[in-house]
Structure 1
Amino acid sequence: MTPPPENPPEPRITFPFSAVVGQDDVKLGLLLCAVDPRIGGVLLRGQKGSAKSTLARAVAALMPGDAPFVELPVGATEDRLVGSIDLQAALTEGRRRFHPGLLAAAHGGVLYVDEVNLLPDHLVDVLLDVAASGVNRVEREGISEAHPSRFVLVGSMNPEEGELRPQLLDRFGLAVDVTASTVPAQRAEAVRRRLAFDADPSSLRTEWAAEEQRLRDRLTAATPAAVAPQLVETISALCASVGAEGLRADLVITRAAAALAGWEGRTETTVEDVRRVAPLALAHRRRRSPFEEPGIGDDEIEEALNDAARGPGDGEPGDGEPGDGEPGDGESEPGQQERIAAPDAPTPVIPLQGGPAGAVSSPSAGRRSTAEGQRGRLVGDRAPDGPMGPVALGATVRAAAARRGLSPDKERGGVMVEASDLREAVRAQRVGNLVVLAVDASGSMGAERRMEAVKGAVIGLLLDAYQRRDRVALVMFRGEGAEVALRPTGSVEVARARLEQLPTGGRTPLAAGLRAALEVAAAASSGPHQPLLVVVSDGRATAAPDGTDPVEAAIHAATAVRHQGVASVVVDAETGPTRLGLARTIAEAMGARYLTLPELTATTLVSAVRRAAGG
């Protein structure tokens, strides 16, 4: 039986590219990559329902040669993406034959990846490698194959669902933040056009057919313009001025500016082209830490271009450091600084280590540990010992051929697979860590300082999570109960918004805090993240349900943590001359590591978490 094609043609009619209201930056980015796919694709960052997939599908309809539109689902395997052994040929003819995957199907068209931030890292690596080189090379299961794969790569993501690793983010040529219009008239027009399309697609396409054909003809004729050596120097000066790391930004701006000039029918690229494409190429390359806002302003680009035009040593009079007695631009006047439990300075990136069973490699800085799993990169195969797991198809076919004494290149032979031929796939997937911080936010002594330290620690941990796709959660307990102030996330946008104001005051419901934190940690135990519960408290429980002793309730809740088998740490935040040592009692009931810190700061707290996690 011949396997079905990886991406059969879709009969649905595409919404016209030119009929999409607004989204000019998205349209420009897509068109530039269609002119020159070597730009490296477009990353569309924004909430659902902002026409990301509609525009990606529509630009494919404008490309010459009946360009395909291929969509890569989040659950896709490496076999489906790059291609694999042709089972029919292997099992009926005893031959190793390559069965192309989605990368072959996308050649000459658009490859769209929705929720690219949720795609396994090893697939994103493969995807970006092929997008940059234009060739898919497969060396696996006895197959050596290479085929052209030149396509416009379009990835979309909602930043609130998690970020791409910086290494992967940088490899997208262009990035655009996509938002729905806030102008009522534009929103209404977009709705009217969508309703008209849903009611009668052919009629709307007929209405926009002339404009679509104009764009199609223009795209077919467009070729990247020439770039003068002096302009290349200006582009490199711009990238150096804004702090872009590496040379990828220089290359992308050069190619995108040349594509823009070609799209507009010109043969020479100008500084104005550079000015227009620079925000799309630099927006996602400017971030220095997760808590810095992404993007770059037009004024900063203009200033950098002016500096590049002047050249070194041509600064205007008065440039340089502010004079003595004059505050610089970044300084604030005395008495005007507002403090709302501001976070401590973030600590350097600290690698956390989980200890998952079945680990197949040890982590290095900036990378997660790996363990065997149902998904991930294929790293080997084995004969099953017990219930059969996912089948390693290539290894199974090779075992069957060897048993029957057949040559893999033999035309006939009718290879039949028996139970003894079956081989199980061994896959390695990266596993992250979930640090659940449970913090006493009551009105006890040192509450404000405790919250400052915790905020800084969350930032420090997110610096690590941002690189390794770990997760951080924050549970606060005060007054009569507990709340999850920050649900497990690696999203910098979500964390930044939720950590701005964390109120303190009231009594200490320690038992409620422990129960809430355990619930968050236990929910992660069956997932891809290894939980670590970190309690920051002096242990002085003063609130519990009516009729219950607060300390006994806290000890009972702590015992539940031990019974769940969740790794935990208690950081004693007790201060003052009189110390009751209740935090140690809680730690013993939890089966947790008990730590005292000489001073509770973000640095000492994150260091404590690192030691507890084995990093």
Structure 2
Amino acid sequence: MTTDDHSAAQDAVLVASLLAIDPAHLGGVWIKARHGARRDWLQSVFSHLPMSSVRVTSGTSQQALFGGVDLTDSLTHGRIVERKGLLADAGAIWLNGAERLDRDLVARIVLHCEAGPGQLLLVADEGTEDDPLPAEMLRERVAFFLFEDALNINGVAPVLDAERIGRAQFSLHEIGTEASLIEAIVALADRLGVMSFRATQMAVYCARAHAAFRGVGAVGPEDIEAAVRLVFAHRMTISAEELAQENAQPAVERDVSEDQSSRPLEESDLQEVNLDAAATQLPDGLLAGLALRSKFASGKGQGASKTSLERGRPLPSRSGHLGGRGRLDLLATLQAAAPWQKLRQSPGNGALALRQEDFRIRRFKDRSERLLIFLVDASGSAAMARLAEAKGAVELMLAQAYEHRDSVCLGLFRDTSAEIVLPPTRSLTRAKKCLSSLPAGGATPLAHGLRIGLELADAARRQGQMPTIILMTDGRANRALDGTTNRAQAMSDATVLAAQIRRSAVPTVVLDTGRRTTSHVRDLAAALDADVVALPSLRSQLARPEPV
């Protein structure tokens, strides 16, 4: 995508046009957009593709998509009854919420497209930046990527030029693929660090389709530029800075470590200092009892119980319809049908007579995975007080979370913004490595931290996880959402976000990192309906450097 907003929107229209010209070789598009006007605009663009489409969600059954034997009708009529799936006649397949789709379903859809007559995949990724990405097999198969944040849709009509697309489809076969074209694109892929051979192939087909769309008879530099921008940009593994420095002479290294280490650390140095974690102690079983008063939580520090149709501890079967995600409980079905056989069977016919109401579906009791969302205040006030001890506390809680097989993620708020420094993971090693060197200093954008915590919690629930927020702060907010350093406005913004978290019923605990518990922390905890745990005042030792 280009950096110009209008060009990004025009590129979206161009991508749809190229897919209409050569759907068999370009595969489809990955659209990362949450609900809103720009997402609706993108869907409107691709709704003009000259082909039928079908929408797939996480609740769509595989039998409905791929067809096969209709078990209900087959048992009722005493003969094999087959149904055609929805994908049989679809030219384009919309995958709504692609980041949440079951991998088995995704694999079957990809195999169906590979074996079929060039069906398009329109991968609609509705997750946040911190959500898991759609499956690699999906991202590998589609040529293009569109991101809503780059779009300025004002003044750009979501329509396709059907007449121009028709002419391009007719002339596409006349545009040859010369060896020099392939060599140029392969060289560009190598320089940009694009590791996918399929992506290189799709770039070649993209250049041909772009030339046909322009109405020229041969691929030119403009077509190669478009292919690189649309197909390679999101697959690059070499940064723009590295490209710019390829031919530059290396800068002279300067050793200033002795000068820096010889002077004492001043308060101003906290703006960018990295603090090592210190050892500390927390109340035993803190994670096990984190705000489990929520109606979404139960048990001892683990996920909430839920009924599943796929895995878990078996529960009594219940009547239901076949064809969905549920599995037939054959024994329970026969037991339900047995008392009625004399009434249903005709004389001389010993066949088993089943009805829809006889079918029993297996059920299981499963426990949802828990996600611990650590929100760490790394502002100047926290750094000067007890941030080192707070990081030591996080390490201890990470170890407890690992024992319970919980996932963890780490958010940091400081200065002017908040960021996710560790996406959700179960890797204790990765979490500790990320925690070992966190920047500190600046203002306290508490509302920013609460906002990303709420977004992470919403994303976790969409994934079927049970989120828990662990907020580590001294409560002294002084950076508002509008970027100003108005302390009153900053506290008001934080209170509003805290109320939203409370209404979402997300279990929360506040770890007070200040030297003493103040009214700021107590008011914040009250707005969150959370407990306050003060870090114990223990002598903490900074981690010593490992011996060489």
State TM-score, norm by structure 2.
Answer: 0.56
Letter in 1 for 2:354: M
Residue 23 of structure 2 corresponds to residue 36 of structure 1: yes
* Structure 1 residue 58 displacement after superposition: 0.6
The answer on whether the counterparts of 2:175 and 2:219 sit within 8 Å (CA) in structure 1 is yes
Letter in 2 for 1:49: A
Residue 141 of structure 2 corresponds to residue 212 of structure 1: no
Residue 59 of structure 2 corresponds to residue 71 of structure 1: no
Corresponding residue number in structure 2 for 1:435: 373
The answer on whether the counterparts of 1:235 and 1:274 sit within 8 Å (CA) in structure 2 is yes
* Structure 1 residue 536 displacement after superposition: 5.8
Counterpart-to-counterpart distance in 1, 2:194 and 2:303: 31
Counterpart among 515, 519, 522 of residue 543 in structure 1: 519
The answer on whether the counterparts of 2:411 and 2:422 sit within 8 Å (CA) in structure 1 is no
Counterpart among 122, 133, 141 of residue 154 in structure 1: 122
Deviations 1:306-338 (A, max 9, x none): x9xxxxxxx7xxx5424578xxxxxxxxxxxx9
Counterpart among 437, 447, 462 of residue 423 in structure 2: 462
> How large is the Cα RMSD of the aligned pairs?
6.1
Corresponding residue number in structure 2 for 1:45: 32
Is the alpha carbon distance of 1:227 and 1:437 closer, same or farther for their aligned partners in structure 2, counting shifts above 3 Å?
same
Is the alpha carbon distance of 1:78 and 1:28 closer, same or farther for their aligned partners in structure 2, counting shifts above 3 Å?
same
Letter in 1 for 2:93: L
The answer on whether the counterparts of 2:54 and 2:92 sit within 8 Å (CA) in structure 1 is yes
Counterpart-to-counterpart distance in 1, 2:43 and 2:366: 31
Corresponding residue number in structure 1 for 2:144: 174
Letter in 2 for 1:542: T
The answer on whether the counterparts of 1:370 and 1:429 sit within 8 Å (CA) in structure 2 is yes
Corresponding residue number in structure 2 for 1:257: 207
* Structure 1 residue 41 displacement after superposition: 0.8
The answer on whether the counterparts of 1:342 and 1:455 sit within 8 Å (CA) in structure 2 is no
Counterpart among 4, 11, 19 of residue 25 in structure 1: 11
* Structure 1 residue 245 displacement after superposition: 3.6
Counterpart among 184, 188, 213 of residue 238 in structure 1: 188
Counterpart-to-counterpart distance in 1, 2:367 and 2:202: 31
The answer on whether the counterparts of 1:56 and 1:112 sit within 8 Å (CA) in structure 2 is no
Corresponding residue number in structure 2 for 1:362: none
User: Which consecutive residues of structure 2, in runs of 5 or more, have no partner in the other structure?
Assistant: 1-5, 255-267, 278-286, 289-301, 342-349, 392-409, 414-418, 432-442, 458-478
Is the alpha carbon distance of 1:245 and 1:56 closer, same or farther for their aligned partners in structure 2, counting shifts above 3 Å?
same
Is the alpha carbon distance of 1:341 and 1:82 closer, same or farther for their aligned partners in structure 2, counting shifts above 3 Å?
farther
The answer on whether the counterparts of 2:317 and 2:360 sit within 8 Å (CA) in structure 1 is no
Counterpart-to-counterpart distance in 2, 1:217 and 1:165: 36
Aligned sequence identity (%): 17
Letter in 2 for 1:255: Y
- State the secondary structure of the residue aligned to 1:489: helix
Corresponding residue number in structure 1 for 2:360: 422
Letter in 2 for 1:59: L
* Structure 1 residue 59 displacement after superposition: 1.5
- State the secondary structure of the residue aligned to 1:170: helix
* Structure 1 residue 56 displacement after superposition: 1.0
Counterpart-to-counterpart distance in 1, 2:154 and 2:524: 53
* Structure 1 residue 175 displacement after superposition: 0.7
User: Which consecutive residues of structure 1, in runs of 5 or more, have no partner in the other structure?
Assistant: 1-19, 61-66, 136-147, 195-204, 289-295, 308-314, 326-337, 348-353, 356-368, 406-411, 471-476, 492-496, 526-530, 563-569, 582-595, 602-615
- State the secondary structure of the residue aligned to 2:122: strand
Counterpart-to-counterpart distance in 2, 1:226 and 1:499: 55
Is the alpha carbon distance of 1:128 and 1:49 closer, same or farther for their aligned partners in structure 2, counting shifts above 3 Å?
farther
Q: How do 1:154-553 residues align onto structure 2 when only pairs under 5 Å count?
A: 154-157=122-125, 160=128, 163-165=131-133, 167-168=135-136, 170-171=139-140, 172-178=142-148, 187=154, 190=157, 212-223=162-173, 225-264=175-214, 269-286=219-236, 319-322=248-251, 341=271, 378=310, 385=316, 396=328, 415-417=353-355, 422-424=360-362, 431=369, 433-437=371-375, 439=377, 443=381, 446-447=384-385, 459-462=420-423, 464=425, 484-490=450-456, 516=498, 523-524=505-506, 535=511, 537-538=513-514, 540-543=516-519
State TM-score, norm by structure 1.
Answer: 0.51
Deviations 1:566-600 (A, max 9, x none): xxxx794x7xxxx4x5xxxxxxxxxxxxxx97449
Please say which of residues 255-264 and 273-282 is displaced more in the overlay: 255-264
Deviations 1:529-588 (A, max 9, x none): xx8x5736256202269xxxx7xx9999999659xxxxxxx794x7xxxx4x5xxxxxxx
The answer on whether the counterparts of 1:39 and 1:173 sit within 8 Å (CA) in structure 2 is yes
Counterpart-to-counterpart distance in 2, 1:216 and 1:501: 50
Counterpart-to-counterpart distance in 2, 1:215 and 1:166: 30
Letter in 2 for 1:165: L
Is the alpha carbon distance of 1:300 and 1:520 closer, same or farther for their aligned partners in structure 2, counting shifts above 3 Å?
same
